[in-house]
Copies of this chain bind each other. A is one copy, B any other.
Amino acid sequence: MAVLDNIRVVLVEPIFGGNIGSVCRVINNNDITDLAIVKPRPTTDWDDARKLACNAKDQLDARKEFNTLAEAIADCTVVAATSARTGFYRDTAYTPREFSPIALESAKDHKIALVFGREDKGLHNEELALCTHIIQIPSSKRYTSLNLSHAVMLCCHELFTASETFQPSEEKADEAGSELRERMFATWREMMIKTEFTHEQKLEHMMMGLRRIFSRGKLTVPDVKILMGLAKQSIWVSNQWKKAEKHD
């Protein structure tokens, strides 16, 4: 199933080798084969990883390693973060079941990523900012904290089962990848500063608002070009204004 080949599971700074091994087995159980690890720790117990990978040791050996989350997802369109916490724009979360059709639709033609944070501290806000969707796994109010490999299992199982009945729909313009999207956000950030739209301390909050707005649907390459062009024009106008005032 080609769609499953386009799904990348990304673990950010995992602590326990056993969890990495378990994740290898889990993704193989669900016909997923693309595993990336961001900032692997020197203290990782790789023996434990091999033990828990069972018959998925090839998967462990085939893992890719990256220094930053941005690099690990550069070629991905949809990027979903799992988060147990709420607040700070985490309040528009999808369940794994709601998310699966969205993911499979994009995975038809593009790489997409499922991102899982550290066992103890999850993802940092700067990492969350790079993600287009937030997944919250339904769980008991009394004990919301899932083991890392169990969280991966639930997300991958939903994608696997949904892929069996998946009917792709027709698509026109090409979807924008993370790198292009981030260039656009950087331009918008510059526009906010140059137009003096907001105080420095409110800037990141505004940026998160914009990120959520633009992540509600797929952004195509032409969409991003319009949005980037608009911001560039405002930056240009701001520069003209400052030049003209100087001549005053």
Contacts and interface: CB of A to CB of B under 8 A. Distances in A.
A168 B191 CA distance: 36
Contacts of A247: 244, 248
A91 B146 contact: no
Contact of A30 (B140, B168, B195, B233): B140
B229 A197 contact: yes
A91 to B, nearest CB: 5
A207 B31 CA distance: 37
Q: Tell me if A's interface is mostly helix, strand, loop or mixed.
A: helix
A126 interface: no
For chain A, the bracket of interface size reads 35 or more
Interface of A: 22, 25-26, 28-31, 52, 54-56, 86, 90-93, 95, 97, 136-140, 142-147, 149-150, 153-154, 157, 160-161, 164, 166, 168-172, 191-192, 194-197, 206, 209-210, 212-219, 222-223, 226-227, 229-230, 233-234, 236-238, 240-241, 244-245, 247-248
